[in-house]
Amino acid sequence: MANLITIEQKILKKNADLALENRREIEGRGLYALGLVSAPGSGKTSLLERSLAALQGRIRCAVIEGDVQTDRDAQRIAALDVPVVQIVTNGTCHLEARMVQEALPRLPPRDLDLLFIENVGNLVCPSSYDLGEHARAVLLSVTEGEDKPIKYPSMFRTADVLVLTKIDLLPHLDYDIEAARRFARQVNPALRIFEVSTRDGSGMDAWTAFLAEQVAARQRAAG
Amino acid sequence: MANLITIEQKILKKNADLALENRREIEGRGLYALGLVSAPGSGKTSLLERSLAALQGRIRCAVIEGDVQTDRDAQRIAALDVPVVQIVTNGTCHLEARMVQEALPRLPPRDLDLLFIENVGNLVCPSSYDLGEHARAVLLSVTEGEDKPIKYPSMFRTADVLVLTKIDLLPHLDYDIEAARRFARQVNPALRIFEVSTRDGSGMDAWTAFLAEQVAARQRAAG
């Protein structure tokens, strides 16, 4: 295994270098970039759709979509008239900085404020790969069980924001949302936590206000 | 990347050899072994708990539990008085045959019929690793969206059985279960499909009858 570990370290080092270049490129364009990660089916694309609709006319958004196969998610985003670039990883279980580096030049060259990077649905592997985003939001749907943060700690430790999704289903579940928050804070006390339903819109105002703040803060920092 | 691909092929070849040894060991003990795979939070452990309770007194079960961190799932199984061995992968995103090989000697040496091997929650990486099980069941909860089989095709192609879980939530979702079945069959026409709720028990009789049949067929094959 020693050889494999050395190669993995080299890959992660190379990835970190490329992520740094991505971040420079992203900042050079005056963009704030947010990564979205979660298990398959936690609602990343649905949250994106609702966020893009809510921000329309206020904040100019673009999306990089990562999928193992198919461009179904990119099609959902393109239907909203938002610039989107699809990365199909062909079996690879996570996005890497080099894939994002290839995607960036395919975005419109200017007049954008906010770039979402939606990763492959996977609560393990994407946590190791910096893509050059400014912050990472991990989604956890309330149908998935409370204990995921301690069972998949690396993903929650490397995230800045936790979005608890599908909260409209809470009345139909035996789910202890306080326990989920407690487990998440146990792994990462600094996590900022939102609770949303893209179905009935609960919590979407607070979430989109947060996005707008982050964009404004980045633009102030860029002068 | 050429080096990495060679190493991956070597790892998979070595894994296949160990899986063959595992299968011999499992069959030498007169066991039928079923792998359980899914995204995090699709309900593998809940399905296990309900299945073990339903089979109690008829079929003698044991469990190998795979998790990235924590032994919470193993504790849930042990509470049912079923022999369980925990594998903590320490960050690895899938079980491998060598891990199962280390776990097998820690099971009770005889008087078992059915071995469940619960993999790490991940719809991508576990699909490449044969563990020596006789069949693989992939779970997909109806809260995860219909299109997962075509977005994560390898997992559905390498599975023998699809269990659609959490069907008690269907009245509260915009979910097209026929579309889910259609996408699954598109990827793997041979998939045997079950629909269950561990909350209200729907579909559990058909599922446990299937397990009992598989065990009986294996015991007939073993003479």
Cβ atoms of B41 and A143 within 8 Å: the answer is yes
CA distance B121 to B106: 23
Q: Which of B4, B72, B151 is the closest to A68 by Cβ?
A: B151
Q: Comparing A11-15, A211-215, B165-169, B191-195, which segment has the lowest mean pLDDT?
A: A11-15
B-chain residues near A125 (CB < 8 A): 93, 122, 124-125
CA distance A111 to A31: 9
Total count of residues recorded for chain B = 223
B-chain residues near A124 (CB < 8 A): 68, 91, 93, 120, 122, 125
The pLDDT of residue B4 is 59
Report the relative pairing of strands A161-165 and B32-37 from DSSP bridges. Answer: unpaired
Provide the 10 A C-beta neighbour count for residue B213.
Answer: 10
Per-residue pLDDT band for A1 (boundaries 50, 70, 90) equals very low
The pLDDT of residue B1 is 43
The pLDDT of residue B110 is 85
pLDDT tens-digit series, residues A3-12 = 556 777 889 9
pLDDT tens-digit series, residues B37-77 = 999 999 999 999 999 999 999 999 999 999 999 999 999 99
Query: Residue B147's closest chain A neighbor by CA?
Result: A72
Q: Reply yes or no on whether the pLDDT at A2 is more than 90.
A: no
Mean pLDDT of chain B: 95
The pLDDT of residue A5 is 63
Report the relative pairing of strands A32-37 and B61-67 from DSSP bridges. Answer: unpaired
The pLDDT of residue B151 is 96
Best residue of A123, A168, A169, A186 to probe chain B, by most B CBs closer than 10 Å: A123
Please tell me if residue B120 touches chain A, with a CB cutoff of 8 Å: yes
The pLDDT of residue A125 is 95
Q: Which of A3, A69, A144 is the closest to B41 by Cβ?
A: A144
Per-residue pLDDT band for B9 (boundaries 50, 70, 90) equals confident
Q: Of B43, B33, B125, which is closest to residue A145 (Cα–Cα)?
A: B43
Q: Considering only residues 34 to 53 of chain B, which have any Cβ-Cβ distance to chain A shorter than 8 Å? A: 39-42
Please tell me if residue B4 touches chain A, with a CB cutoff of 8 Å: yes
Query: What is the pTM assigned to this prediction?
Result: 0.94
Distance from the Cα of B132 to chain A's closest Cα (Å) equals: 22
In the structure encoding, which two tokens stand for residue A2, read together? Answer: 């020693």
pLDDT tens-digit series, residues A180-206 = 999 999 999 999 999 999 999 999 999
A-chain residues near B72 (CB < 8 A): 147, 150-151
Q: Of A100, A151, A15, B216, which is closest to residue A86 (Cα–Cα)?
A: A100
Q: Of A41, A69, A220, which is closest to residue A139 (Cα–Cα)?
A: A41
The pLDDT of residue A9 is 85
What percent of chain B is predicted at pLDDT more than 90?
93
DSSP code string of B41-84:
TSSHHHHHHHHHHHHTTTS-EEEEEEESS-SHHHHHHHTTT--E
Q: Of B90, B130, B83, which is closest to residue B106 (Cα–Cα)?
A: B83
A-chain residues near B172 (CB < 8 A): 168-169, 172
Per-residue pLDDT band for B3 (boundaries 50, 70, 90) equals low
DSSP code string of B175-189:
--HHHHHHHHHHH-T
Distance from the Cα of B87 to chain A's closest Cα (Å) equals: 13
pLDDT tens-digit series, residues A144-178 = 999 999 999 999 999 999 999 999 999 999 999 99
DSSP code string of A167-187:
GGGGGGS---HHHHHHHHHHH
pLDDT tens-digit series, residues A54-85 = 999 999 999 999 999 999 999 999 999 999 99
Provide the 10 A C-beta neighbour count for residue A203.
Answer: 17
B-chain residues near A145 (CB < 8 A): 40-41
Q: Reply yes or no on whether the pLDDT at B223 is more than 70.
A: yes
- Rounded to an integer, the average pLDDT of A127-151 is 97
ipTM: 0.92
Q: Which of B67, B124, B148 is the closest to A41 by Cβ?
A: B148
In the structure encoding, which two tokens stand for residue A79, read together? Answer: 């239907």
